[in-house]
Structure 1
Amino acid sequence: MPPKSKGIVKKTDQAMGSSLKAKNNKKKQVFKALLDNPFTSNNWPFIQPKDSEDILTVFKVLIKPHFNQVNAEDKPKIFKSPHEGVYFGFNSIVETLERQASNFRGKKKDSIEPLKYLLVCKNELPSVMTDLLPTLCFTASKDQNDKVKLIQLPKGSMEVLSNCIGKPRCGIIALNKREEFESLNILMDKVDDITIPWLNDIFNSPTQFYAPKISTNKPNVV
């Protein structure tokens, strides 16, 4: 009886092993459907550094005296400032803009005076607080020719705003359009309007629905 061979691999077994190895090592392409997300776009209007500095300076000159006067009288602290037309407090401003959007889009009607300008210390606030503001201001605008102005203030503005109203870490201020703010309004009106092309139709057909845009992404091979 011939001795058993050791370490001998049949050609068929070797071929099968190579085939399985090649199959396992073959790069497999996986495609994933992604929903296009317009909220990730940076829709903040451009503003010249000098213009933002001038707006902050004029705001300080106009607003600070009114807050100093009321704080000295030891009156209760309320959301609306002692000078009508000036608002502070992130949650309250967002709520007011949401109500304003509902009013202009025909969902409901109430007696709030529309906010026209939003001054934001964008570089000093977390992105979770600022990312929603362009879309919110756009939807809260009356029409294409009368939009809420979103104004980015220069770095270091939070300290100035906080000092003006006597509240710590005030990074967002909203204003109505008032005659007494005329010099400030002129500067703020120079800032570009918010542009969000995919929302343009809300001023004409607010209830119209558009199918979501879905793209196909090719991630890393697995």
Structure 2
Amino acid sequence: MAEEVKLFGAWGSPYSRRIELALKLKGLQFEYIEENLYNKSPALLKYNPVHKKVPVLVHNGKPVAESLVILEYIDETWKHNPFLPTDPYEKAKARFWARFIDEKFWPAAKKAMASRGREREEAIEEAQQHLKTLESELKEKKIFGRESLGFVDIAAHLLFWLVVAQEAFGVEILTEEKFPAVHELYQRLADEAVFKECMPPKEQLIAYLKVRLGAWTASK
């Protein structure tokens, strides 16, 4: 019996696009279901009743939520083209840095885009401190050093959103001059055809980010 793989996502969600990227890197066939984040479907609420968010992967009727959890599920279910290293310590490091990107760097970057004045300055400073940490790791070849695209590379897909958001909001966080190693990583990923496939059209994404981050600011 053929496997059934469905992805509930939203075109402008970096976390949703991250899972599309992972499925494509594995060469898997899947059904994509676009969600309206302002009017979520009963199916999404059924499959992810806790967070009520995208992405949700449904594999043979079983739902898996939260993008980094989904990434690990995909990697453990379909063993070819592995994302995570086999060595337990290296695997733990990959998990750590993926979470660092999601839980430390990206919230500060979002706040920098969505805020104004002194609050924006402080958020930019915080985001750049996190980039300095990544820059140091990259220069010492502690992460992102595998020949094939891996778990942290997929997590770093957020750098695409950062570069577009910088243009949308006139904010400067990641530059080649300040963070050459991180910028080189971004460029290396940007040159990969499958990464390009998983990015929305730039002008459309700029308009989307202005709406979404504006709403995020208003809700604080």
TM-score normalised according to structure 1 size: 0.29
Give the helix-richer structure, 1 or 2.
2
Higher relative contact order (CA 8 A, sep 6+): 1
Structure ID, larger Rg: 1
